[in-house]
Amino acid sequence: MPEPATEPDTEPTVEAASSRASGTQWARNPVLPGFHPDPSVCRVGEDYYLVNSSFEYHPGLPLHHSRDLVHWRPIGHAVDRPGQLSLAGVRPSGGLYAPHLSHHDGVFRIVCTLVDGHGPDGTFLLTADDPAGPWSDPLWLPDAPGFDPSLFFDEDGSAHLLGTRQIHADGRTAIWLRAYDLTTGKPTGPEHVLFHGALVAARWAEGPHLYRHDGYYHLVLAEGGTEHDHAVTTARSRRLAGPYENNPRNPVLTHRHLGRDHPVTGAGHADLIRTPGGDWYALLLASRPYGGGPHANLGRETFLARVVWEDGWPVVNPGAGRLTEETEVALPPHPWPAADPVDHFDGPGLAPHWNVLRTPPTPVHSLTARPGHLRLPLLPQTLADHAAPAFVGRRQQHIDVTADTALDFAPAGPHEAAGLAVLYDAEHHVTLLVTGDGRPGGRVARVTVRDAGVQTVRGEAPLPPGPVRLSVRARGQEYTFGWAPVGAGPGEAAAVVAVATVDGRLLNSAHAGGFTGCYLGLYATARRDGGSGDGSHNGSGSGNHADFDWFGYHPEPGPGGAAG
């Protein structure tokens, strides 16, 4: 792995600026669509690496690689094995919060917080020689209270940990810094409180990052909470330990003044990066509500913005002062090969866009039991449990998209079910499941909605014997579930029999709370029909299984399907 390039504080030469101009391109926002919040980015030479929060999903802390800040390819996860770190039993939107990625002296490091773990939790450090892994077991940092940690390496090579500590129930916080020995995980100096937020009575000043520029230490942080009032604020000091001067132009970016009907809301939690040519950019999160009201089913996504320095302070997207649909990037294009829209499950492992819930004690799927298929056992755990059900899902990354699959499954009765799920969290999801209808060998396709813990059957249709094709078609906030014969191949038109159309506005944080986004996936369970309604599974599972031949993810052309 190459060493990071030096990044002098001087501006690039005229020749370098001319070279950059010849390689300019435009990035379409968001650059990472779908549930990719809290981005943290580092550069090693001409390579950029980015990590995001993942909360209760496993494998956790997804990593992406880019050569141009525009095109990103998944390269793996930092938390990818049960013995490394357990997410067992964590609540929805608990788990892995706000990681920070850095590279120093040939070592990649991630500091992160495990929230509400049922074993060790709190702040921890992971290391790797290659960002694609393997990553180390966690080194727990018990002297690092709070959340949203980040690392800063000063010019003398010393390592310092920043973090956020809540100091009042109303959301007031303190941003702190301590020198750390990253081998032992112990602090080597006193704590310094650097900041409490830029605005009067600031709430949720968090996500601190430090940078050196033009003789100053620059502190960049999120403020105002991660919803509509989110913002990016900054402060600076000549001394690492402060005092820090508040930027008189704060916030340097927010969308809260644009009103709740603006198409992009909640902009904040920025991490800055400098290119070899001397240009600065910010990767940050924001959301795209749609369908009327604040409903952003795709969750908090990763956006890109330009940063320039004026009077020693950062200015985000000069001339616009907000996130824009397209961002000019002074780097030559470096796209990656397009991913296959259909997964045929014929590889040795799942592709990196797939996740399961929490940390299963044993695998909840198999790719070898029936080669060329994904097999799910019928476990007693359901999506309503704070457990690890037989669910394998991927992020919904487009507003308008169709997902479909070919399912081979013979339920033994009404207590066994398998099919598709659209999941926000344990209390808010929709399923299209093949299940027994009470007659020997009889089956139906049934659509069930779980909203605020209450389950309602929205529609069902009888099925013929044999494999069937199941689909969910999202057009804005309308999710239409249906089935078809398997004669048509993946991605081909089929005469779909609609079972039910569901209002998707129940599938987002504005309705349900939390910090995640919609997942589309494959699911199987053995339970009493309808579930218990209280989040606990009812049944003991079975020896049966469901086989999925393929899964297709097909964005629609146009504004709702083009991002990403």
CB 406 within 8 A of CB 392: no
Q: Name the catalytic one among 38, 301, 343, 427.
A: 38
Write out 107-161 in H/E/C secondary structure: EEEEEEEEECCCCCCEEEEEEECCCCCCCCCCEECCCCCCEEEEEEECCCCCEEE
Q: Name the catalytic one among 56, 68, 191, 206.
A: 206
- Name residue, tokens 């960002």: 131
* Main-chain phi, psi angles of 98, to 5 degrees: 45, 70
Q: Which two tokens stand for residue 526?
A: 């053995």
CA distances from 552 to 52, 133, 333, 370, 393 (A): 25, 28, 28, 19, 12
- Name residue, tokens 């996860």: 77
Q: Any residues with CB less than 8 A from the CB of 338 and at least 6 apart, and which?
A: none
Render 290-344 in DSSP notation, one character per residue.
-SSSS--TT-EEEEEEEEEEETTEEEESTTT-S--SEEEESS-----PPPPSEE-
Q: Is 549 a catalytic residue?
A: no
Q: Is 156 a catalytic residue?
A: no
As a whole number of angstroms, the distance between CA 257 and CA 23 comes to 34
CA distances from 430 to 27, 427, 443, 507, 521 (A): 34, 10, 19, 9, 11
Amino acid (1-letter code) at residue 60: G
Q: Mind telling me the catalytic residues? A: 38, 206
